Structure 1
């Protein structure tokens, strides 16, 4: 197997890495790995076929992610549901929206305005992770810092630790260089 990192495709989803395999005969597959897309192709493909398949697979992944993503009104509705379920409806944001300018935070809020912003990097992640970040920001509308009162609010969400672990793993993977496995694809 050879690993050929490519430049960013201009999709706004980060770099594309192509992995060729002599064991792979006909199938092409792709998955997201942090901000990178990994495309697995047969070793015998030409450069033109590779480029075509990269485009096809990026389109397929984007379509899958769009089906899983909440739009702005759904995001606000979900915030209301989470507030009712876990915060007795006390957190009432004035706005909830996706933003593309948060690269070091998963979410943020301005309690004085009641606004919540979630990083676009969360789009396509499991719903329990998005719910956790949304609930985290809702809790900040009630308690500004990360003291014991804040964490008591989040203790009611049963997937807090799992979501935090998921996000820590994504962040750690983004800092590590990728090394191909010894067993191929």
Structure 2
């Protein structure tokens, strides 16, 4: 069975808004998915969806995608993440480890599509997916604390898990990430516990 129809419908928004291509998928049952395709936005919708419901959901999904893109393109304070990292380490890691745990740099990156964060213990560099820039602060802090814990323990052993889960809203944040991944059908859902934080250590 073909995944999509051969001739997708294209809507042309006014002004300088991106073109919206709506493509029907025989494999989809309920959810919609959207992604960038050059200067257009491709939206995959279930075949046979009610036109009025489809129109509303396509509009809402495109609006969310454009909002994320707008937030990701905003200039950010290069020191903000490092200050947050230092505050988290001071509260949750330094007292347990008995020394200062600080990254060499922390940056938002737009090319990290398969994981929420990554850490290179050998250099102290931490990178966070720009997708999270409009997530609640406690979710971002949980991911950041997870990466900071890798500066102490590069593996995912018992000590690492104890450090990484020390944020008071760790379980809630994991649930948020898993739910967001499933709702948006992002590749993050292939990482560890369906959108959780695993396999995020770079050895270089």
TM-score strictly above 0.5? yes
Q: Does 1:82 align with 2:92?
A: no
Q: Tell me if the contact between 2:36 and 2:42 (Cα under 8 Å) persists in the aligned partners.
A: yes
Which of 91, 100, 110 pairs up with 2:101? 91
Q: Distance in 1 between matches of 2:156 and 2:125?
A: 18
Q: Distance in 1 between matches of 2:38 and 2:162?
A: 40
Equivalences for residues 103-114 of structure 1 within 5 A: 103-114=113-124
Q: Tell me if the contact between 2:41 and 2:62 (Cα under 8 Å) persists in the aligned partners.
A: no
- Give aligned pairs, total: 146
Q: Distance in 2 between matches of 1:168 and 1:13?
A: 28
Q: Tell me if the contact between 2:146 and 2:165 (Cα under 8 Å) persists in the aligned partners.
A: no
Q: Tell me if the contact between 1:106 and 1:133 (Cα under 8 Å) persists in the aligned partners.
A: yes
With over 3 angstroms needed to count, the CA separation of the structure-2 counterparts of 1:110 and 1:11, relative to structure 1, is: same
How far residue 134 of structure 1 moved from its aligned partner, in angstroms, is 0.5
Equivalent residue of 2:119, what SS? strand
| Consecutive unaligned residues in structure 1, runs of 5 or more | 23-29, 32-36, 40-53, 177-185
With over 3 angstroms needed to count, the CA separation of the structure-2 counterparts of 1:14 and 1:156, relative to structure 1, is: farther
Q: Distance in 2 between matches of 1:12 and 1:113?
A: 37
Equivalent residue of 1:172, what SS? helix
Q: Does 1:150 align with 2:160?
A: yes
With over 3 angstroms needed to count, the CA separation of the structure-2 counterparts of 1:73 and 1:132, relative to structure 1, is: same
Equivalent residue of 2:163, what SS? helix
